[in-house]
Amino acid sequence: MLLQLAVILMAYALGCIAVGYYLVRWRTGQDLREMGSGATGGRNAGRVLGRGGAIATGFGDILKGISAMALALWFDLDVWALAGVMVAVLLGHIYPIQLGFKGGKGLSAAFGAVLLYDYRVALLTAVVALALLSISRHNQFFFLMGVACSPIIALALGQRREIVVGIATLVLIILFAHRDNIRAALNPG
């Protein structure tokens, strides 16, 4: 039990590594949280550093999720703890303690964790989300609705209940983190 909790806490700590924040700080000396959307993720880092900064940040954030899940799998945690690791790395990304709990919005970190656990769920979710995004003229609301399909995809692929609940929790947290984007997409006027 202590090992499971320790790994979940390590996953949160990995999530706290705010790649976009540190990249912008290193390249410009500025605080990314005071620029653009105020988030530390790839989209906002891209506004400051360009496409390369967005890609580097997104890759780093995905790597956090992969690293947290790799740690959990290496320690052969119970399935409920694996779901807890997914949630913990996401919470660390969105609410990093060293940055006053003001981080990114979580898509890349969650994607990385799910990708390593079951690449089929991650890739099918990405396909659905990108398909909805492309047919909706790039309205982010529809992309997020594609992401919201991930628990259904996990269930359809035979994932255990604990993992489906964990992925559903990821979705709820991500939707909450994107609440302003969702409001803006639903009320474009």
- Reference 14, options 114, 75, 88; nearest CA is 88
Task: Report pTM.
Answer: 0.94
The percentage of the chain sitting over the pLDDT mark of 70, rounded to a whole number, equals: 98
Confidence of residue 185 (pLDDT cuts 50, 70, 90): confident
Q: Mean of the pLDDT values across residues 119-133?
A: 95
**88-123 confidence digits (pLDDT tens):** 999 999 999 999 999 999 999 999 999 999 999 999
Query: Could you tell me the two tokens for 15?
Result: 């999530």
Query: Could you tell me the two tokens for 92?
Result: 């660390």
Token pair 């890739």 is found at: 123
Q: Mean of the pLDDT values across residues 71-86?
A: 97
Tell whether the model's pLDDT for residue 189 goes beyond 70: no
* CA gap 115, 66 in Å, rounded: 7
Round the average pLDDT of the chain to a whole number and report it.
95
Which DSSP symbol is given to 106? S
Tell whether the model's pLDDT for residue 28 goes beyond 80: yes
- Reference 93, options 3, 36, 174, 34; nearest CA is 174
One-letter identity of residue 89: V
The percentage of the chain sitting over the pLDDT mark of 90, rounded to a whole number, equals: 87
* CB within 8 Å of 111: residues ≥ 6 apart: 62, 65, 122, 125, 126
Per mean pLDDT, which range of 92-96, 128-132, 179-183 is the poorest?
179-183
